[in-house]
Amino acid sequence: MPTPAHRRSSAAALALVFALSGCTADGDAQEHVVVTTNILGDVTENVLGGRAEVTVLMPPGADPHSFEISAQEAALLESASLIVHNGLGLEEGVGHHVTAAEEAGVPTLEVGAHVDPLDYTSDEDEGRPDPHFWTDPQRMITAVDLIAEAGAEEIDGADNARAEAEGYREQVEELDTWMAERFETLPEERRALVTNHHVFGYLAERYGFEVIGAVVPSGTTLASPSSSDLADLAEAVDRAGVEAVFVDSSQPDRLARAMAEEAGTEVEVVSLFSESLTPPGGGAETYSEMMRANTDAIVDALAEDQG
Amino acid sequence: MTPSPGHRAPRTLASTVGGLVLTAVAAACGTTGAPAEEAGETSPESTPHGYVEGAEEAAEPQPRLVLADEDGQVQVLDLVTEETTDLDPLPDPVSLTGDGRFAHLSDGEQTRVLDTGAWTVDHGDHSHYYRAPVEDLGEVPVPGPTRVFADTTRTVLSGEGETLVLDRSALEDGEVETAGPENTAPGSLLAPFRGFLVHVGENGTVEVLDEEGERAEEFGKTCEAPQDSATTRSGLFLTCDHGALEVTESEEGFSATSVPHPEDTGAGERAETLHHRPHASTVAAPAGDEGVWVLESGADEWNRIDLPDTVAATAIGEGGPVLALTGNGRLHALDPETGEERSSTDLLGTVDPDHPPVIEADAGRTYVNDAEEGLVYEIDHDDDLRVARELETGPTPHFMVRTGY
């Protein structure tokens, strides 16, 4: 299993120091904030990490929909000073623990519900709020403010959290400006994401992209594909008028070859980070790193003139 | 092409470490409470529920086939990598079934449970796909031939005079544990459905039992001599003497709809065993050897397609064809509504009546076993039944089941 960052061990050491001093002083428990997803965990660490122990439940590289927690971690939720969660149905394996803690009187912040969520527009989920707000940094700036406000309210000694978050807030603002500038280098007609990811709706809205959903042929189909297997993806590429598709495939090269041979369509198959930060060295260790990596990948792929 | 910068390492179902930090703090403070007491027990306790050692998430479905010959040689074939895993033989098998992840190989006395290490978690708007090593979980005392009915919480193995309800999450942890009624009367049927159990009594009464085995719902409709069950995206079908019963769940609770056979249906032509692409909302059942019954979820009558000498059939659903194999080895793709033949192809040289082939379908491909040639055909059912791959198998494929869904 991936070893969490050195940040974790230093945090642990720090926590111990705090705890010991706390014990000798008046026996007060250390203030702690528990965060469900690792994306919000990184943001919360940046906003409140100086004032509270921040524990992130979702491991790097995990899946926010399906990760589950141990009995110990559930107990942690119950004793938290504040719980920060994405909500809008994202953390399916943990949602009932958050609800239980909330019912037990633990303050909770459902970030997704307060960032003006978009509704899904696809047929199956039409009308349901889309929980993947983090692909829009402007909404993440709102999230920074929300987390700072909640911290100021619920954590002893964090009255100035809003002011202390200013540095990180500026970082996210810079990220947003940088992304906007990068995407502006793409002509409008090339701002099309042919993808099987369901998380880029917010990014598309913020930066003027069109998301074109596509069925991606799976491993067994690619073993011996015919043009009909690739028709849906080829049609999406045609419609988009671009030469790159942003899909998860275990065999990206094979998919590209099959598209060329069977559908007569030259495409680059690019994978993006979607719902989780990675372990150190994985390319998306922080929220900012994840967003920058995706932006570069998208711009590089769509800017390429493949003739 | 440029290397993609976003290449992601395989996502591992890893245990979390985050929780341990605070546990240590609490212990240091001497605070009472569960976290401190459990702190000394270390890693096993901090392993989240659902953790599977070695399991990893994949970008796409991970279908596998379990194949067995009549002597009991057993093999798992990974349809993505074409890698094979041999398992200990189980002499003289009589049936092989599956429930999406686990396969069940039975002889006349017992049933071996195999974790095929490939499964899908359905989240409605999207799915997650996992792969893990193949594991032999041992035998349970259910004599074959067996049928299997399952949902995400329980697997019911129903053999000759013996029915066993197994705890699905225990199976996922490699443990075989029962989770439900120990004794069910001969002639009755138990089928898991959305965390509940649909129970058809020997007298044909149909009820829904909750997790504790208490009755949550009883229907006025009956299902005499229940034969089979199939779960669709919308509900649960049961085959009965009179036809089918569809059980559905809504905000108001459970309800049941009866779909009788046409009145002139002969005893030998009734729908007994149901087959479909997993979760599809259309099911198919051989009408004896006279043709195929087709039933759509929510429909109030069966559709009958005449096709003499039908040996096996299944439904792709959602506009896809009904597939049927006839005794001459020919595979037919039929329109589910009109019965019109969309295409057909000579697939098998002979059909062994002792080990009739099965048709196992997923969204894009269908698999048919050919025991005589020692092959499995991978069929593109949307492209004139083109044979996409001929897969050579280790054991002669007398028995076959697909997993990974």
pLDDT tens for B262-271 read 999 999 999 9
Question: How far is the C-alpha of A17 from the C-alpha of A23, rounded, in Å?
Answer: 10
Contact B157, B111 (CB under 8 A): yes
Q: Which pLDDT does position B349 carry in this prediction?
A: 96
What pLDDT, on the 0 to 100 scale, is given for residue B53?
55
Could you give the angle at which helices A137-154 and A166-184 cross, rounded to 10 degrees?
170
Query: Cα separation of A117 and A126, whole Å?
Result: 13
Residue of A71, A79, A218 lying closest to B45 (CB–CB): A71
Q: How confident is the model at residue A305 (pLDDT cuts 50, 70, 90)?
A: low
Task: For residue B77, list chain A residues with Cβ-Cβ distance below 8 A.
Answer: none
| Distance from the B63 Cα atom to the nearest Cα atom in chain A, whole angstroms | 8
List the single residue in A22, A69, A248 with the smallest CB-CB distance to B59: A248
Supply the pLDDT for residue B128: 82
Q: Mean of the pLDDT values across residues B205-229? A: 94
Radius of gyration of chain B (CA): 23
Q: Which strands form B399-403's sheet, in the order they lie side by side?
A: B84-87, B74-78, B64-68, B399-403
Structure token pair of residue B116? 């095929």
Q: Which of the four pLDDT bands, split at 50, 70 and 90, describes residue B59?
A: confident
For residue A29, how many other CB atoms are within 10 A of its CB? Answer: 16
Which of A 184-223 lie inside 8 A of B, CB atoms? 198, 216-221, 223
pLDDT of res. B40? 35
Rounded Cα distance between B322 and A140, Å, is 49
Interface subset of A 240-279, CB within 8 angstroms of B: 248-250, 252, 256, 268-273, 276, 278-279
Spell out which residues of chain A touch residue B1, defining contact as CB-CB under 8 Å. Answer: 256, 268-269
Q: Which residues pair with B375 in a beta bridge?
A: B370, B392
pLDDT > 60? residue A228: yes
Taking CA A296 as the corner, what is the angle to CA A290 and CA A297, rounded to the nearest 5 degrees? Answer: 90
Query: What is the pLDDT at residue A249?
Result: 81
Does the pLDDT of residue A125 top 80, yes or no?
Answer: no
> Mean pLDDT lowest for which of A71-75, A181-185, B30-34, B109-113?
B30-34
- Mean pLDDT of the B11-22 span: 33
> Out of B5, B28, B57, whose CB is closest to A19?
B28
Element (H, E) at A280: none
What integer pLDDT is reported at residue A222 of this predicted model?
92
Helix (H, G, I), strand (E, B) or coil at A193: strand
> For A61, which of B12, B30, B365 is closest by C-beta distance?
B12
The pLDDT score that the predictor gives to residue A304 is: 63
Six-digit token string for B68: 């067995």
Chain B residues with CB inside 8 Å of A122's CB?
A: 125
Bond from prior residue into B286 cis (ω within 30 degrees of 0): no
- Per this entry, what is the length of chain B? 405
In tens, the pLDDT along B332-350 reads 999 999 999 999 999 999 9
Q: Which of A1-15, B45-59, B138-152 has the lowest average pLDDT? A: A1-15
Q: Looking at beta carbons, which residues of chain B come within 8 Å of A61?
A: 8-9, 11-12, 14
- Label residue A196 by pLDDT band (50, 70, 90): confident
Contacts of B342 (CB under 8 A, 6+ apart): B321, B333, B334, B335
The sign one gets for the Cα dihedral B380, B383, B384, B390 is negative
Interface of B with A in 3-62 (CB under 8 A): 4-9, 11-26, 28-31, 33-35, 38, 45-51, 57-62
- Nearest CB partner across the interface for B18, out of A56, A79, A256: A56
Mean pLDDT of chain A: 88
Residue A183: what pLDDT? 98
- Nearest CA to A298 out of A159, A170, A184 is that of A184
- The stretch A299-305 carries a mean pLDDT of 86
Instruction: Determine the pLDDT at residue B3.
Output: 35
For B116-148, write each residue's pLDDT tens digit. Answer: 999 998 877 678 889 999 999 999 999 999 999
Number of H helices, E strands in chain B: 4, 34
Q: Is the pLDDT reported for residue B50 higher than 50?
A: no
pLDDT above 70 for A11: no
B164 residue type, one letter = L
Chain B hits for A66, Cβ within 8 Å: 50, 121, 123, 128
Closest Cα in chain B to A35: B18
Q: Å from A277 to nearest chain B CA?
A: 10
> What's the pLDDT tens digit per position in A77-118?
999 999 999 999 999 889 999 999 999 999 999 999 999 999
Nearest chain B residue to A247 by CA distance is B59
Distance between A254 CA and the closest CA of chain B, angstroms: 12
Residues of B in contact with A198 (CB under 8 A): 125-126
| pLDDT digit string, tens, across residues A257-289 | 999 998 899 999 999 999 999 999 999 999 999
Average pLDDT over residues B31-51: 37
Residue burial B6-24, b: 16+ Cβ < 10 Å; e: rest? bebeebbbbbbbbbbbbbb
- Would you say the C-alpha torsion B289, B290, B291, B297 has a positive or negative sign? negative
**Element containing residue B393 per DSSP (H, E):** none
* Phi, psi (deg, nearest 5) at residue A245: -120, 140
| A81 interaction partners in chain B (CB closer than 8 Å) | none
CB A134 within 8 A of CB A201: no
B6: nearest CB among A268, A276, A283: A283
| Domains within chain A, CATH numbers bracketed | 6-178 (3.40.50.1980), 185-272 (3.40.50.1980)
Looking at the complex, report in whole angstroms how far the Cα of residue B349 sits from the nearest Cα belonging to chain A. 23
CA distance B52 to chain A (A): 12
A18, A72, A220 member nearest B19 (Cβ) = A72
| Predicted complex: ipTM over 0.95 | no
The CA distance from B380 to B361, in Å, is: 10
Among the residue ranges A228-232, B225-229, B361-365, the one predicted with the least confidence is A228-232
Compare CB distances from B60 to A120, A219, A272 and report the shortest one's residue.
A219
Q: Where are the alpha helices (DSSP H) in A128-251?
A: 137-154, 161-164, 166-184, 201-207, 219-223, 227-240
Hey, which residues 25-54 in chain A have their CB within 8 Å of chain B?
27, 29-30, 32, 53
Minimal-distance CA residue of chain A relative to B21 = A12
Under DSSP, the state recorded for A127 is T
Confidence of residue A237 (pLDDT cuts 50, 70, 90): very high
CB-CB contact of B378 with A220 (8 Å)? yes
